[in-house]
Amino acid sequence: MPEITVTALQSLKLKGEKITMLTCYDATFARAASQAGVEVLLVGDSLGMVLQGHSSTLPVSTADMAYHVACVKRGNLDALILADLPFMAYATLEQTLANSAAVMQAGAHMVKLEGAAWLADSVRLLAERGVPVCVHLGLTPQSVNVLGGYKVQGRQESQARQMRADALALEQAGAAMILLECVPSELAAEITQAAKVPVIGIGAGSATDGQVLVLHDMLGLSLSGRVPKFVKNFMRGQPDIQSALSAYVSEVKAVSFPASEHGFSA
């Protein structure tokens, strides 16, 4: 069992203490990030872009995810390991169960699904069978071809209303956590206030219960050369990677990251 459990994350929300999450794909970084006090290690399907060099997350398989979860598990100290189910790995309820089992048996403590209210049956099914679920709303990179690019979501009032309703419907279905990506800061603040479960943001302002960044981004590494507005390079001014990871944890806990320049307006 990790020391950081779903219950521990829930207590952080209740106490008003910010939750720290970073993506992580291997044992050495798992050790460094958990040693720095990162509470959640997200084995994200962003590994398709940052490790495998693809231009999207779509080519990632469940076998890839299980392999990297197992690597992270070996280096982790006491963080909670959250694993993405990749593109089309939860298209049916049968696939959802089988692919969740694969990453949980590899060492994950929670799975993350991208989508909206249509995920409710999957969330309920998994939660009833002992799998905590984080739902990823807003910019959902697996749907990049439907969204027409990596764009801020929820700027129009109708979209914002829908996102608020989706978040609460998924919480009602049993989601243990909500992740909001590239959402106007005000909307993210409203969803965080309305939700009982922790809400983690990336490009969603400082009012969410916690923050996540892609590890390579916050270490100043970029394959494409394009750095999203919500990224801060924590290597700047730090002597080494371990100090950069600690600076991330301190700044998230102190609510000095993200600053207003890292967020989006409606």
**DSSP 3-state assignment of 191?**
helix
Region 106-165 residues binding ligand KIV, contact defined as CB under 6 A: 136
Phi, psi angles (nearest 5°) of residue 221: -105, 130
CA distance 226 to 28: 26
Quick one: which of 44, 115, 205, 263 contacts ligand KIV (CB under 6 A)?
44
Per-residue HEC secondary structure of 92-148 comes to CHHHHHHHHHHHHHHCCCEEEEECCHHHHHHHHHHHHCCCCEEEEEECCHHHHHHHC
Binding of ligand KIV by 217 (CB under 6 A): no
For the chain, the farthest-separated pair of C-alpha atoms sits apart, in whole angstroms, at: 49
Between CA 54 and CA 167, with CA 23 as vertex, the angle to 5 degrees is 100
**Binding flag, residue 201, ligand KIV (CB under 6 A):** no
Question: Whole-angstrom Cα distance, residue 104 to residue 107?
Answer: 5
Binding span for ligand KIV by CB under 6 A among 43-51, 166-174, 224-232, 233-241: 43-51
The residues annotated with a catalytic role in the active site are: 181
Nearer to ligand KIV, 27 or 239 (CB): 27
212 binds ligand KIV (CB under 6 A): yes
Pick 68 or 94: Cβ nearer ligand KIV: 68
Among 29, 41, 45, 69, binds ligand KIV (CB under 6 A): 45
Instruction: Check binding of 205 to ligand KIV (CB under 6 A).
Output: no
Which ranges in 174-256 belong to alpha helices (H)?
A: 185-194, 215-218, 241-253
Selected range binding ligand KIV among 41-49, 100-108, 121-129, 169-177, rule: CB under 6 A: 41-49
Give residues in contact with ligand KIV (CB under 6 A).
Answer: 23, 42, 44-46, 84, 136, 179, 181, 202, 212, 214
